[in-house]
Amino acid sequence: MHMELEAQVKILKHKIDVHEQQLDIKTQYISELENRIAEYQNELAIAATKLHEGETMRRKLHNMVQELKGNIRVFCRIRPFLNGENDSKDESGLPEHIRIGVNEDNLEEIRIIQSSESASGSAISKPFPFTFDKVLHLQFAE
């Protein structure tokens, strides 16, 4: 009986050794897979960055093609003052609440300045800028 138990212990020790070897192999395989996952995540991040840059470039080129084909042109006419409206003008002949110039992006800009009075009685001026590729500077007729 003692011999049978020793034989069973020997068989079980052999099975344990086989299972430990399989465990080591599987642990190594898991480690390799984790390394691959990390590499793939890095590649994915690089690809996402390239995709974003490519999409930005595509939009820019698309806009350039649209401009070369001919964009829709928008014209804005500022009507003359009606009777009873504040018709004070600056030195260029424009109403005081309208400014025409170039903004920081080198686009021509019409800035409408809305003046109002606060509850405390102080004057408040709020600018509303509108940018255009080109602004025609016409004199206002009186």
- What is the model's pLDDT at position 59? 92
> What does the pLDDT average to over 70-95?
66
The residue among 82, 84, 86, 100 whose CA lies nearest residue 139 is 100
What percent of the chain has a predicted confidence (pLDDT) above 90? 39
- Pick from 36-45, 66-75, 98-107 the range whose average pLDDT is largest: 36-45
> What does the pLDDT average to over 4-30?
94
Whether the pTM exceeds 0.75: the reply is no
Distances (CA, A) of 34 to 24, 30, 46, 47, 86: 15, 6, 19, 20, 74
- What is the model's pLDDT at position 69? 79
Residue bearing tokens 């928008």 = 74
Higher pLDDT, 68 or 96: 68
For 98-120, the pLDDT digits (tens) are 777 787 777 788 888 887 777 78
Percent of residues in the chain assigned helix, strand, coil, to nearest 5: 50, 20, 35
**Does 4 score more than 80 pLDDT?**
yes
Alpha helices in the chain (DSSP H): 2-69
> What does the pLDDT average to over 39-44?
97
- What is the model's pLDDT at position 21? 96
For 119-138, the pLDDT digits (tens) are 787 888 888 888 877 777 66
Domain boundary assignment for the chain = 1-72, 75-142
